[in-house]
Amino acid sequence: MSETLTLTIDGTEPLTLASIKEIADLCDRAEDGAAGIVTVRVAGAPVDGWADALDVSLVTKWERVLRRFERLPVATVAVASGDCGGAALDAFLTTDVRFATPDARFLVPLHGDATWPGMSAHRLVQQAGAARVRRAVLLGLPVRASEALDLGLVDELADDPSDAVAATAKLLGGLSGKELAIRRQLLFDAASTSFEDALGPHLAACDRTLRQSAPEVAA
């Protein structure tokens, strides 16, 4: 029976090879069919000097494992509380369904004399629009929970999201992870693909669905 895998990410912790491996190992288990859904709990934002020990090789590995996580053939649910930045924000933005406590704030961290130019900035723009997250990406100003809800970055606010997470897990448990991954990719592509270019992949997905639901013909 598939289980619910849980990942906890503390945004105050520095990015390391160990933290990358933890996500990679979870991806291995999810891709092998061990999970019905994956739940990610995030909190914490980087402190001064958080990126001093980073190099571009480590950041590349981090971004690649997050992209792998973002494409898992299972549903992913996130719960955010308090300040969330750095790795916590990165992971939160890769999930399918998102909950947050009312005190949550989402921050693009500062490093040196500007904000960190990682892929969380790209995801924020893709998901909420450049104008609506401009101050967060350029100035590092926090996106508060209520604002994140209005922007669609968060699906629901709750003091205790446990019940909402449980209800969502029940809903997602009835869906095919592989089919969800196809729908997710179509969703990603829709923002940057013309109707003509999108038609083929959508028709292929429709054909796949129809073949799966077609009654078997007796020999």
pTM of the model: 0.89
Handedness of CA 126, 129, 131, 137 (dihedral sign): negative
User: pLDDT tens string for the chain (219 positions)?
Assistant: 457 789 999 999 989 999 999 999 999 999 998 667 899 999 999 988 888 889 999 999 999 999 999 999 999 999 999 999 999 999 999 999 999 999 999 999 999 889 999 999 999 999 999 999 999 999 999 999 999 999 999 999 999 988 888 888 888 777 777 888 888 888 888 888 899 998 998 999 888 888 887 676 554
Q: Give the other-Cβ count within 10 Å of 36's Cβ.
A: 19
